[in-house]
Structure 1
Amino acid sequence: MISAPQLVMAGPHDPRLHFARHHLGPITIQPSPDMPPHLLLLTDASDTRYLVKQHRDPGRFEREARAYTTWTTYLGDRAPQLIASDPPTLSLLLTELPGRNAALLPSGSIAERQAHHAAGATLRQIHQIPTVAPGTTIAAYLGQRLSLWADRARSANLITSCQRNEMEARATALADTTMDAAICHLDYQPRNWLLADYGTVRIVDFEHMRPDARLRDLARLAHRHWAAAPDLRAVFLDGYGHPLTALDDQLIQQFAAIEALTALVQGRQRDDAQLTSHGRLLLTQLH
């Protein structure tokens, strides 16, 4: 098992720089005050831009490294290219993708609609990546995940015992639900979309990527973004090229339980009042 390294600010003895120089030669750290400390923006001798992304969790490092070596090659220039990985520092050396972060686009703007349409097209590419995972296995797994999140939420006194029992009943029903499997991004929302100048959306942050229920990638959008802006749903699905059926909508609503509990638990862990409030609202709507 890889142990988590200590995250340090970039300096002459930062092991991430030694890792990057080993693969790129001479490098220059670029000023990036808006970036979190786990990301380093670098250029090589030819001024090509790269990112070093350092994980704190070994499991996420291993999952994202696997995603880059197994699935993102199907996306071409819509995903970063993995140059190298460094298990001792849990770091990935990636090509840097240009583009505007879709989460920062003005609400209601043409650019926001363009990003949702293009993100739909990119998600279709992701869901067309070959997978051998059967939907029955995915359904059983998601039932287990719902039970796990319910246990975590109850242990943190975020839900009542009665709610915990209701979630267990939902988990049992979910495990018996028919669903399509696909390779999924599993954090598919505007903060991970980069809108290129020519209208394509590129995708970053593949640390959750794995075979899962195809509609899970749409569920997060439905519950976090489309409720307040339903017109974006229509734009996204037009780009996705796959209209939702009534059964699809029912399954997306079933996933609301996982979304609610995840938001509650992670909101508490991160001291994120907005995420916690989102979880509370979804939990209320479930009843």
Structure 2
Amino acid sequence: MTQHPLTDDLRRWIASHLPGADTVTDVSWARDSSRVWRVAAGADAVFVKISPTTREYEREVRGYAHATRALCPDTAPRLIAADPHLRALMSSPLPGRVVRDLPLTRAAERRVHEQAGRLLRRWHDHSPPPTARDRAAIRAAVAEQAQEAATCLEVTAAHLDDAQRAVVRCVRDELPQLAETMPVVYRHGDHATRNWLFDAARNSVGLIDFETADHGIVADEFVWLYGALWSTRPDLKTAHFTGYGRLLSDDEERVLLLLTARLSVSYLRSGLTKDRPDLVERGRLVLARMAHQAR
């Protein structure tokens, strides 16, 4: 993975909030837009992040403020400093390790999912009411996803069976109308195991990374989990919603399926157009599961 050095401006900004910083470790995700460092000054450590865009910077600042209101200090990091010109954020460390790659037993996975569900419910329960602008943005985003599904279908139709083509057409035709009736919350926006930290010493789960936090429909919060994990591990879905405190309604379940089908056919189109066999395989696999669920 490419290492990202700190710029002089960023070093000066860090020094103004953490004097004596002597250790910098690049902990960015393996994608071009990720810029995250762990910075230590002796025993004191912080995380420093450069947001990819101004929009994501603003979302993350609001997300940290929401986490402070909604979540206990040991389940979410706290924002120490932020600079809009650098798009830089400095946050406190949170105990634990990223759940995505942890070798957990099946029973431990269920406990983690239940705790994550409980944490997300606290996040949602403290949602500020959506404004008319928020609702308009949600409506536009859903319409865009429905249109994307239609576009993807034109490119991928020859690679799909009848059931898969049918579920993508359902995304195009059903999603906008169904979404109008869905509950709206202030979403975390990337509620995936890569953003859960499990602290084995305290047997607790924490939540990180708020750059996509914004108002949206509840079902959209679970798309990654449903496509990547829950469709083959229904016990994890059950555990998560046990912690969350309620099941999804039938209409929410339908919207979740359609949103996941939209994502999978998008993967497939990207894989075909970019010659990415990994995306092709991922798209085909998840779309086949969604078509099976739709039946």
TM over 0.5: yes
Q: How does 1:194-213 map to 2 (within 5 A)?
A: 194-196=197-199, 197-213=201-217
CA contact (8 A) 2:223 2:260 kept: yes
Distance change (3 Å), C-alpha of 1:72 and 1:262: farther
CA contact (8 A) 1:267 1:274 kept: yes
Q: In the alignment, what sits opposite 1:4?
A: none
Matched, 1:29 2:23: yes
Distance change (3 Å), C-alpha of 1:149 and 1:199: farther
AA aligned opposite 1:111: A
Deviation at 1:89, TM superposition (A): 2.7
AA aligned opposite 1:149: E
Q: Identity over aligned residues, as a percent?
A: 25
166, 169, 173: which one aligns with 2:173? 169
The worse-fitting range, judged by mean Cα deviation, of 60-69 and 136-145 is 136-145
Deviations 1:162-197 (A, max 9, x none): 88876532344345x411111111211111100122
Q: How does 1:43-122 map to 2 (within 5 A)?
A: 43-45=40-42, 47-77=43-73, 78-106=75-103, 108-122=105-119
Q: In the alignment, what sits opposite 2:124?
A: 127
Distance change (3 Å), C-alpha of 1:192 and 1:105: same
CA contact (8 A) 2:228 2:286 kept: no
AA aligned opposite 2:128: T
CA distance in 2, matches of 1:269, 1:25: 49
Query: What SS does the corresponding residue of 1:215 show, helix, strand or coil?
Result: helix
Calculate the TM-score normalised by the size of structure 1.
Answer: 0.80
Provide the aligned C-alpha RMSD in A.
Answer: 3.3
Calculate the TM-score normalised by the size of structure 2.
Answer: 0.78
Query: What SS does the corresponding residue of 1:255 show, helix, strand or coil?
Result: helix
Q: How many pairs are equivalent?
A: 276
Distance change (3 Å), C-alpha of 1:220 and 1:34: closer
The worse-fitting range, judged by mean Cα deviation, of 18-27 and 139-148 is 139-148
**Which residues of structure 1 form unaligned runs of 5+?**
1-6
AA aligned opposite 2:12: H
Deviation at 1:268, TM superposition (A): 7.3
Distance change (3 Å), C-alpha of 1:8 and 1:91: farther
Q: In the alignment, what sits opposite 2:162?
A: none
Distance change (3 Å), C-alpha of 1:166 and 1:214: closer
255, 258, 261: which one aligns with 2:259? 255
Deviations 1:188-237 (A, max 9, x none): 11111001221221111111111111122123212221112121112212
